[in-house]
Each structure stands twice: as structure tokens, then as C-alpha cells.
Chain A
Amino acid sequence: MMRTTTAAASARVPEQGRGHGVRRWHIGLALLLLATGALASLFIGVSDLTPLDVLEADEEQSRVFLVSRVPRLLAILLAGSAMAVAGLVMMHLTRNRFVSPSTAGTTEWAGLGIVVATLLFGATSMAAKMGIAIGFALVGTWAFLRLVRRAAFSDMIVVPLLGLMLGAVVSAGARFLAYRYDLLQTMDAWTNGDFSGVLAGRYELLWAVAAGTVVAYLYADRFSIAGMGEGFAINLGVPYNRVVTTGLVIVSIVTAIVVVTVGEIPFLGLVVPNLVTLAMGDNLRRVLPVTALAGAAFVLVCDVVARTIRHPYEIPVGTVVGVVGGVLFIGLLLRSRGRTA
């Protein structure tokens, strides 16, 4: 929430300052927020642990710190930044501000993949879940992009609408399968993102999404050019199809890994890139690091809220993000039409 107010404030910079709307101190403020959130995240929890304790920790305390708190913080930062960047990449590739992994069915396909993997290989095989989820996400997203391109909608709103509906159908299919084979509980584990299960040894796969974020950064300029259209890209000597496929693979892998390890975090890949782009303009390479930072900060703040609001119980972070992100998304929607119409 706090992060968004800084973003909104910088969006109000006068028109000629657009694109330079984010000053260095904004970034500084965001980093400060991130650091505060990180500290809060490390020292909030059921077992008492203060910063002073860490300096001279007994065995119990250092275990809590190293096995639970630190991995959780890392997982939040990794998942938050990667999902936000994935949304940003998708936004550019589809040339549509409202397309993201959660509005293109990618998360739902990944979920269906988890159900299928559990059916075929049992609940314990992490590698199978991951592989099949990535495969499903990839195929599903690719099919969606094909469908959108063939239908050639000029309307920016129809595409995410279509994606949301497709996602609803896919998740109804997954739910049906899950119902049929008594897997509804497994399904609940990933339909609502939650970091409370993150422990050392159970989140390390998330480091792979950091790799995805780095690759996205290296490809940033190519994504920008591909986003200008196939003809334009080829004219500039950019292999359009290969670049789009790379983007698709990054998005699918990141989404699937996040869904498998922590669950769906709704609207994250949609709201954060949009707010950052509103403030900073469209230069992908400039925007991407800030988006990663903002995504991490957003999830971090939401997670801290989710953990304190009903202490000592926890609320899944997906629920908190769903509420905050939903409000922001509706605001963006009504605002965008109010301006263009």
C-alpha cells in the first residue's frame, strides 16, 4: 500500500517531466521501504526474536532465524520481483497493458499442470510437478497468444477479458479433476498464495526465477522492439519469433515455479508494472529494475500486513494481495477509459 502511494505521487509529476518522473530519491525511498519491510519480515512471527537476539542467538533462535525467517524473506523478494517482471514482459510482448500471467490464463494452466502431475506421479514428486506445470503454462499461454492474434481485436479490454474467462474455464477443469480424484486440498494449497510454508530446503527452486528476471533484463531492448510489431522488429534485424518465444518461456517458467512453490498471487504481475510504467514511461530497460524492486516491496508489505493483522494467526498473502490489487486494478481500468474516451 505504501509503495503505491509513492508511485501515485510520482505519477502526478507535471506532463513535461513524464519519463523523468522518478527521481533518485524516489528509488531511495523505495529501497528504504524495502529495507524496513525486510526487517519487519525477519522479526515478526510467533516465536519472539528481536534484532538483538540474533547477535547472540541461542541454538533455538538461530534455527528459527535461518530455517524460517530468512528463507521466507528471500522467497518473498524473489517471487515478488519475478512475477512483476513477468507481467511487464507480457505487457510489452502483447502490446496490452492489461495482459499479465494472471489475466492470460498462465497461472491457471500451471495449476492444471500441478493437478495432472499429482495424478500421474503422486503428491511428492516436486520435479514432475514443476516440469508439467511449466509445460502446461507454456502451451496454454502460447495458445492464448495465438487466439488473440488470430481474432485481431482492436479493443484493449477484450484480450484480458478473454484471458480471464479462459483461466476460469481451465481452473474449473482443474477443480473438476481435483474433485474427482480427491485432490481439492492439494488444489487449495496453490490457489491462494501463502509464504507460511516456506522453509529452508523447500523454496530453493525459487532461485531459478531470479535467473529468469536477469535474462529478462538482458533481453529488455529486444522485447521493446518486438513489442513494436513483427514487421518493425524484423526490419531492425531482430528475430521476432525467437524473441517472443524467449519471453514466453521466461514468463511461463517464472509463473509455474511461483505457483508450485508459494501459490497464486493475484494481480501482482498486472498492477505493479502498470503503476511503475505510469510513473516512469515505457522504456523497458529503465523500468524493469524498478518494477522488480516495486514488486518485491509490494509483496513484502502485503505479507507483513497478512502476518500482523491477525497475530498470532496468519492470513494467506494471496488474499491480501487480492484485495489491494483488485482495488488498484479497478482504479486503473476506470481511469484509463476516463482519459481516452
Chain B
Amino acid sequence: MSRPLTAVLPEEARALRRRRRMMLLAVLAVAAAAAFMTIGVTGSWEYALPARSRRLAGMVLVGVAIAVSTVLFQTVTNNRILTPSVMGFDALFVLLQTVGVFFLGAATVTGTDVRLRFLVDLVALVAFGAALYRLLFGRTQHDIYVLVLVGVVLGTLFTSLTLLVSRLIDPNEFLTLQDLLFASFNGINRQLLGIAAGAVVITVAAVLRLLPRLDVVALGREPAIGLGVGHRRVVNQALLAVAVLVAVATALVGPITFLGLLVANLARQVLGTHRHAWTLPGASLIAVIALTVGQLVLEEGFGFTTSLSIVVNFVGGIVFIALLLREPRL
């Protein structure tokens, strides 16, 4: 991994600049959040503030979840273009939810507690995700490009399956479930905010304890084992964290394919380091900034409401292509 811009500077200057940039990101994130809360409020503030703060909370949770899960996933798989969404994990989550409705019926599903339902979906995702991971990253070493391509096709496959299953569900039941299954930035699932916040906080706390070992794991399997880190154990823990975070983000706003890819790579670029103590918070801050500013600009500037994920996919796809072209040998 080359760092052409920073390589010339001495270590101290680099550290100083890194710290300064991190501060800047933090300030920007706070400013963006404040702007999101206040700009364009017409009418009653008593109504606007709580409503907007709920949406802001949702965006912060989603941003952190996507950023952290992507950075972790890239560390574990040891590359820069694979992300959980590119591998179809979030599409898998939507599929599992739909299949659940198909087998249990809408009445049972809407009747159960949101938190219990989320937990069940989460367990299913962890189980299927683990199976998928073993299949792709298990005994046979597959070429990285094959993995990405398989992941992209898996995403399409899961989406097609979701469509298929949702067509098999009774149309009336499906209608009542549409809100429940297809979340967006505009309709952040309010009931889930509490449990989502809890899950993110616990997971991030657990990840923080892993930090030093993650840096070693990022070196690759053999060096990590050589340095005395239980590679397999750390990888399993990291993947569990990834599953939880993907589930949280997807349950809140639905799949956003390229956000993680964007913020993880931007964070490494801006901070000039691969150390997780920097990239994890950096990527999270960038994600929060991107989501709030993007939503604000689209809403206030263009009067759109739900197209943020389209824009993110547009920009993210271009970045992905650039990454592919620039580093044909990853």
C-alpha cells in the first residue's frame, strides 16, 4: 500500500497533520449535524427538533455502522475493494426478513416485538453470513476479483430471490409489510432506534478492545500468526461485529451499496494511515458528514427526499471503477 504524499514527511509532522485532520473532521461532523437540525425549519420548533433529532440519530447510527463494518471487513479480507455490501450481505439481510414473513405470515411477524424480530433476523444473518464466508474464504484460496464478482452476482441473486419470495407472499399481507421491510432515509424505522443504538454501542465497544490486534491482522494471516495473534479468533470476532452492524444499518435504512467503500477509502486517504485507531473513527465521521450533508443538500437544495442512496451509489460506483482501474493488481 503506497502513501506517496505522506511518505516524504517525517513521522512527527505526519502525526500532527493526522491529528489536525481528525479534529477538522470532527468539527465538520458537528457542524453538519447542527445544520441538519436547524436549516429550513418552518413552523413549530417543538415539533421539528425532536423529529429531526430522531432522523439525525438514525443517520449517525447508520454512518457509524457502515463505516466500522466496512473497515473491519476490509481488514479481515485483506483488501480495499471488498465491502459487506459489495459481497451482498445487506441484500441477504433483506432476503432473510422477507423469507421470515413468507414462512411465518404477516400477522405473526407484525405481532411480535420489534426487538425480538430484529434479534431473530440478526441470528439468521450471522448464521448465513458465516456459511457464506466459509464457502468463499474457506479452504480454497480464490482470486480477489473472483470473490468480488461472485459477491456482486450474489447481491443480484439475493435481490431476485427477495422479489420472488415477495411475489409469493399474499398481496394483502405484502402491502402491510412493505413499510416494515423497505426502510429508507426518509422513513427511518423509529421503533428500532433504541435497540439499534444499543447494538451499535456494544459492538463498537467490543471492537475497540480488538483494536491493537486488528492492526496486526491487517498484515495478513501468516505475519499475524507469526506475531502471536490468534488470527482465526480475531477474524471470527470481527466478522460477528460486521454482521451485527450490517443488520443494524440495513434494518434502519435499507441497503446502500457503496457508502462503506467510499468512506473507508476516503478515511485512509485523508488520514494517511491504516491504523484502526484512526481509520475507524475517521471513516465514521466521514460517513456521518456525507449522509447529513447529502440529505440536507438534496432536501433543501433540490427538494428531493428519498434519493440519497441513489446519489451515493452513483458516486460510489465511480469511485469503485477508479479503484479498479488505478490498481489493477490489488
Contact = CB atoms under 8 A, between A and B. Distances in A.
B160 A322 contact: yes
A313 B140 CA distance: 43
Which of B142, B160, B257, B313 has the most A CB atoms < 10 Å from its CB? B160
Nearest to B302: A180
Interface in B122-176: 140-143, 145-146, 148-150, 152-154, 156-157, 159-161, 163-164, 167-168
A327 interface: yes
Interface stretch (B17-25, B71-79, B288-296, B318-326): B318-326
B314 A169 contact: yes
Contact of A329 (B143, B153, B304): B153
A323 B161 contact: yes
A165 B153 contact: no
Nearest to B81: A161
A98 B153 CA distance: 12
Contacts of A179: 304, 306-307, 310
Nearest to A323: B160
A236 interface: no
A172 B157 contact: no
A330 B141 CA distance: 16
A153 B325 CA distance: 9
A161 B157 CA distance: 16
Nearest to B309: A172
Contacts of A166: 317, 321
Interface stretch (A252-260, A286-294, A331-339): A331-339
A151 interface: yes
B328 interface: yes
Given A165-B324, A310-B167, A322 B157 contact: yes
Interface in B183-210: none
A238 interface: no
Interface residues on B, range: 35 or more
Contact of A323 (B148, B164, B168, B307): B164
Which of B154, B157, B304 has the most A CB atoms < 10 Å from its CB? B157
B57 interface: no
Nearest to B135: A334
Interface of A: 98, 151, 153, 155, 157-158, 160-162, 164-166, 168-169, 172-173, 175-176, 179-180, 192, 266, 309-310, 313, 315-316, 318-320, 322-323, 326-327, 329-330, 333-334, 337-338, 341
Which of B140, B159, B310, B328 has the most A CB atoms < 10 Å from its CB? B310
Q: Would you list the 5 A-B pairs with minimal beta carbon distance, nearest first?
A: A322-B160, A326-B157, A169-B317, A157-B145, A172-B314
Interface of B: 140-143, 145-146, 148-150, 152-154, 156-157, 159-161, 163-164, 167-168, 257, 304, 306-307, 310-311, 313-314, 317-318, 320-321, 324-325, 328
A326 B328 CA distance: 26
A330 B153 contact: yes
Given A179-B307, A319-B167, A322-B159, 18 more contacts: A98-B149, A160-B149, A161-B148, A162-B321, A165-B321, A165-B324, A168-B317, A176-B314, A179-B304, A179-B310, A266-B156, A266-B160, A310-B168, A315-B164, A333-B153, A337-B142, A338-B140, A341-B141
Contacts of A164: 149, 152
B154 A337 contact: no
Contacts of A326: 153-154, 156-157, 160
A98 B145 CA distance: 13
Contacts of A173: 314
Contacts of B145: 155, 157-158, 161
A179 B311 CA distance: 11
A157 B149 contact: yes
B163 A330 contact: no
B318 to A, nearest CB: 6
Contacts of B164: 315, 319-320, 323
B216 to A, nearest CB: 28
A151 B328 CA distance: 9
Given A169-B314, A172-B310, A161 B161 contact: no
A169 B304 CA distance: 19
